C-alpha cells in the first residue's frame, strides 16, 4: 500500500473526499515525517496543532455530508517569509527573531480558508537573499539528494525557497509556498526534482509577505507535479485591495484547463540562453525538451532576446536597491531584535541592531543598494538598470509575436555542494542566469524536472509564457512532465 506521505495534493484531496483515508491520518503521517527529518533543517517551526485542527475540520465536514473545501485534508509547508497569525515569522534572520505576527498574510489566509493545514514554517535564505539556502541565520537547509559517485557531500537545495524544495522532495509535505524574486521558486525546484511556478507579477498578493524587492517579489506554489501546482495556485491567487500591485482579475480554473496537447502552439528557443561553458548535460536535456515539445504537437522556432546578457547586472542593481529601502524598517525600534549598548544613543542602537541582526549577504545587498541609490550614482546605476529592464521586457514582447511560450533550462547546473560557491558571490549569482529575465519582465514561468545528470541529480526545464497565461505555461509544463516520466526520488538518509 502506498504510504500517505507519498501522495501529492490531488491524491490527498481526492482520497479524503472519497473516504479512502481520513484527513487526520494524513496529517499525523506528515507530522511524524517532519519530526523525524530534523537533519534536513527544512523546518524552523513545527505546527502540528494547526495541521491537526484543519484535518479535524475536514473530517467533521465530511461526516456531516457537507461540501469539502478545495484543499480539505491537505497539510502544507509555509515559507517563513509569510506572516502567519500567532506563529513566529523570521524571514530566517536574527533581526526578526521573536517576532510573532498578529495578522495573517493574504496568501496564507487564502490557503487556510481553502482548507489547508500548516505543518510548519520552512527555512529559507535570509530575507530571500541567496541561491543555496546557506544564508539562513538558523543553519543551512540540506537537500535530501546525494550524488551517486560514492561521495557524501551535503548538497544545496537551491534558494531562497530551499526549505520548501527540500521538504517536498523528502516527502515531508505534499506542497509548500515559495517566493520568487529572481528565480527562488524555479531554481530550487530544479535542484530537487519537483515542480514550481512563478505566476505573473501581481497574481498573488504581497500583503503580509516580508519584502525583499517589491517590484519583483511574487509568491507561488511548489509541489510534486504540475497538477498539484495548478491546484495550489488557484487557492493562492486573487485580488487583494491591501496590495497596490494586486491584479483585479478573476482566478481561472487552472486545474480543469490542464492539457498536454500543444497542437497549434509555437515554442521559442532563445538563442542567447546558450551561455558559455554550459554543461553538456544541460544542453542535452534542453534538446530533449525541444523534441518533447514537437512530440506534443508544437512547432519550434528560434527567437532572440538580445538584452538577456544585461539581465543579471540589471537585477543585481534593482533588487539590492529595493532591498536597501525595504529593510530600513528593521532598526530595533518597533519589532524584532534590539541591541542597545550601555550609554548608546539612538544612532548607536540602529547601527548595533542592524550589525547584529543582518547576515553577511543581506548586509552586502543593503550596501550595494544604498550605493546605487546615492545622489552621485543614482542615474549611472539605478536609472540605467531600470531602462535595461524595460528593454528586456520589450524583448519578450517581440519574441511572443512569433511564439506562444519559451523553453529554456532552469539552472546552469545541477545542485552543488554546500560551501562550494559560498566564497564567490558572483559565482552564486550566476545560478539565476536563466530565471532572472522572466522576473524582470514579470512573466509567468514554471520549472519541471526533466531528468538526471550523470551523478544522479535532478535537472529542470523552464517554460516562460505571456503575461497572465499561467494556463499555457502549466499545459506546456504538463507536456514535458508526461514525456519525461520523471519518477526519481532521493533515497532516505536523514
Q: Which of 33, 69, 79, 421 is catalytic?
A: 79
Question: Is 160 among the catalytic positions?
Answer: yes
CB 140 within 8 A of CB 157: no
Q: Give residues with Cβ within 8 angstroms of 215, minimum separation 6.
A: 201, 245, 318, 322
Annotated active-site residue in 22, 136, 143, 160: 160
Residue 138 makes CB contacts below 8 A (sequence gap 6+) with 41, 44, 90, 92, 123
Q: Kindly give, in sequence order, each residue whose CB lies less than 8 Å from that of residue 459, ignoring residues fewer than 6 positions away.
A: 190, 281, 282, 285, 409, 410, 411, 414, 449, 450, 451, 452, 453
Greatest Cα pair distance, the chain, in angstroms, is: 72
Candidates 105, 184, 413, 447; catalytic one: 184
Give whole-number Cα distances, 343 to 87, 268, 353, in Å. Answer: 34, 63, 15
| Pairing relationship of beta strands 175-180 and 43-46 according to DSSP bridges | unpaired
Q: Is 79 a catalytic residue?
A: yes
139, 110 Cβ separation under 8 angstroms: no
**Residues near 254 by beta carbon (within 8 Å), at least 6 away in sequence:** 230, 233, 234, 470, 471, 474
DSSP letter string, 146-204: --SSS----B---SSSHHHHHHHHTTS-SEEEEEESSSTTHHHHHHHT-EEEE--TTSS
Residue tagged 550614482 (cell numbers): 377
In a 10 Å sphere around its CB, with 0-12 CB exposed, 13-18 middle and 19+ buried, how is residue 250 labelled?
exposed
Please compute Rg for the chain using Cα positions: 21
Angle at 324 between CA 322 and CA 329, to 5 degrees: 105
Known catalytic residue: 271?
A: no
Task: List active site positions.
Answer: 79, 160, 184
Amino acid at each position: 500500500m502506498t504510504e500517505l506521505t507519498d501522495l501529492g495534493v490531488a491524491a490527498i484531496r481526492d482520497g479524503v473526499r472519497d473516504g479512502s483515508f481520513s484527513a487526520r491520518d494524513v496529517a499525523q503521517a506528515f507530522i511524524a515525517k517532519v519530526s523525524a527529518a530534523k537533519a534536513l533543517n527544512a523546518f524552523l517551526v513545527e505546527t502540528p496543532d494547526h495541521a491537526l485542527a484543519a484535518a479535524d475540520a475536514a473530517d467533521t465536514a465530511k461526516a456531516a455530508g457537507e461540501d469539502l473545501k478545495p484543499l480539505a485534508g491537505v497539510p502544507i509547508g509555509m515559507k517563513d517569509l509569510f506572516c502567519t497569525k500567532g506563529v513566529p515569522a523570521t524571514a530566517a534572520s536574527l533581526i526578526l527573531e521573536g517576532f510573532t505576527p498578529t495578522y495573517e498574510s493574504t496568501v496564507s489566509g487564502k490557503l487556510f480558508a481553502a482548507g489547508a493545514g500548516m505543518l510548519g514554517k520552512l527555512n529559507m535564505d535570509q530575507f530571500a537573499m541567496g541561491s543555496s539556502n546557506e544564508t539562513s541565520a538558523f543553519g543551512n537547509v540540506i537537500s535530501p539528494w546525494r550524488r551517486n559517485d560514492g561521495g557524501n557531500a551535503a548538497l544545496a537545495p537551491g534558494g531562497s525557497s530551499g526549505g520548501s524544495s527540500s521538504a517536498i522532495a523528502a516527502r515531508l509535505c505534499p506542497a509548500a509556498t515559495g517566493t520568487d524574486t529572481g528565480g527562488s521558486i524555479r531554481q530550487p525546484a530544479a535542484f530537487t526534482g519537483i515542480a514550481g511556478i512563478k505566476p505573473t507579477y501581481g497574481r498573488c498578493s504581497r500583503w503580509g509577505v516580508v519584502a525583499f524587492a517589491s517590484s519583483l517579489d511574487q509568491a507561488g506554489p511548489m509541489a510534486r507535479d504540475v497538477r498539484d501546482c495548478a491546484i495550489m495556485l488557484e487557492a493562492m491567487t486573487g485580488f487583494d485591495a491591501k496590495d497596490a500591485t494586486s491584479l483585479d482579475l478573476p482566478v481561472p480554473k487552472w486545474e480543469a484547463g490542464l492539457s498536454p496537447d500543444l497542437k497549434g502552439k509555437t515554442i521559442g528557443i532563445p538563442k542567447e540562453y546558450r551561455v558559455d561553458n554550459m554543461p553538456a548535460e544541460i544542453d542535452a536535456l534542453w534538446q530533449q525538451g525541444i523534441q518533447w515539445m514537437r512530440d506534443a504537437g508544437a512547432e519550434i522556432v528560434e527567437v532572440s532576446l538580445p538584452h538577456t546578457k544585461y539581465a543579471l547586472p540589471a537585477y543585481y542593481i534593482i533588487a539590492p536597491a529595493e532591498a536597501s529601502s525595504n529593510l530600513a524598517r528593521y532598526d530595533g525600534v518597533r519589532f524584532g531584535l534590539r541591541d542597545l549598548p550601555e550609554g548608546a544613543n539612538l544612532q548607536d542602537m540602529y547601527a548595533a541592531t542592524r550589525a547584529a541582526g543582518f547576515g553577511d549577504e543581506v548586509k552586502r545587498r543593503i550596501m550595494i543598494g544604498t550605493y546605487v541609490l546615492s545622489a552621485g550614482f543614482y542615474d549611472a546605476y539605478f536609472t540605467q538598470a531600470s531602462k535595461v529592464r524595460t528593454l528586456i521586457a520589450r524583448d519578450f514582447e517581440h519574441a511572443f509575436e512569433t511564439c506562444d511560450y519559451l523553453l529554456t533550462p532552469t539552472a546552469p547546473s545541477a545542485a552543488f555542494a554546500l560551501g562550494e560557491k559560498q566564497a564567490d558571490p558572483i559565482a552564486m549569482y550566476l545560478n539565476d542566469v536563466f530565471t532572472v529575465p522572466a522576473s524582470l519582465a514579470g512573466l509567468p514561468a514554471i520549472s519541471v524536472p526533466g531528468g538526471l545528470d550523470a551523478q544522479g541529480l535532478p535537472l529542470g526545464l523552464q517554460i516562460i509564457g505571456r503575461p497572465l497565461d499561467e494556463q499555457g505555461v502549466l499545459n506546456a509544463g504538463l507536456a514535458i512532465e508526461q514525456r519525461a516520466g520523471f519518477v526519481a526520488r532521493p533515497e532516505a538518509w536523514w
